[in-house]
Amino acid sequence: MTSTDDTTMADRYLYLTRHGEATPDESGLSEAGRRQAALLGDRLRGVPLAAVHHGPLARAAETARLIGERLDGVPVKSGEAAGDYVPYEPARAELPTEIADRMLGFLEQFPAEERERGPELAAEAMARFTGPVPGDEPRHELLVTHNFLVGWLVRDALDAPAWRWMGLNHANAALTVIRYAPGRPPALLVYNDTAHLPADLRWTGFPPDLHV
């Protein structure tokens, strides 16, 4: 920990997960999704979490609730910045030529209003969930969110180009951990870890051709 302008800063540990597997209509979690959330909650029991944050959609809210039920008095909080949105829409010139058409075509399936609102929410998420924290005690927080925001935050931690949130895939209820320490670049400590899930619950939500 360091002191800057007489303000003591401490480490933030941001635990990221994608919601559990959803039902086909995305109105909540499937049975597998509920099991995934419960098992992730069991894994996190020993972590001194200050809060569980989640987006407003049902699949994230239910995941956060099931995780919270396995923790001891950790508050569960909803916020739009933790939700599902396009965090950044690149210009064609930013993209490698060979993938530009595919990437831009993928983004065009989302409503223009959503694409325009996304960067504002992404900036809010960055301000709320990243960077060292005031004080002299480390803070541990869990963010239950969606694939796009996990990709955006991981991309930022690695200082990758803004468009590179695309192509990063997170399995349902997998765990990623980023450490934000004063005076240091962010450190990606854990990425897409499914060790708490049995084989039949791993890699849901992940492109089938990338299953391992």
**What is the chain's percent helix, strand, coil content, to nearest 5?**
40, 25, 40
Per-residue CA distances from 84 to 99, 177, 211 (Å): 24, 19, 23
Question: 209, exposed or middle or buried, with CB in 10 Å at 0-12, 13-18, 19+?
Answer: exposed
pTM above 0.85, yes or no: yes
| 86-100 tens-digit pLDDT | 999 999 999 999 999
| 144-198 tens-digit pLDDT | 999 999 999 999 999 999 999 999 999 999 999 999 999 999 999 999 999 999 9
Q: What 3-state DSSP class applies to 53?
A: strand
- What is the pLDDT, as a whole number, of residue 208? 79
Both tokens assigned to 153? 């935050």
Alpha helices in the chain (DSSP H): 31-43, 58-68, 97-107, 112-129, 147-157
Residues 6+ apart with CB under 8 A from 205: 18, 21, 147, 169, 170, 171, 172
| Mean pLDDT, all residues of the chain | 95
- What is the pLDDT, as a whole number, of residue 207? 80
Alpha helices in 134-175 (DSSP H): 147-157
Tell whether the model's pLDDT for residue 39 goes beyond 80.
Answer: yes
The residue with greater pLDDT, 66 or 3, is 66
- What is the pLDDT, as a whole number, of residue 3? 44
Q: How many CB atoms lie within 10 A of CB 106?
A: 13
Q: How many residues does the chain have?
A: 212
| 102-151 tens-digit pLDDT | 999 999 999 998 889 999 999 999 999 999 999 999 999 999 999 999 99
C-alpha torsion sign, points 120, 121, 122, 124: positive
Q: How far apart are CA 175 and CA 16, in angstroms?
A: 6
Amino acid letter, 113: E
pLDDT band at 5 (very low <50, low <70, confident <90, very high): low
Tell whether the model's pLDDT for residue 2 goes beyond 90.
Answer: no
Per-residue CA distances from 50 to 74, 77, 137 (Å): 6, 11, 11
Residues 6+ apart with CB under 8 A from 198: none
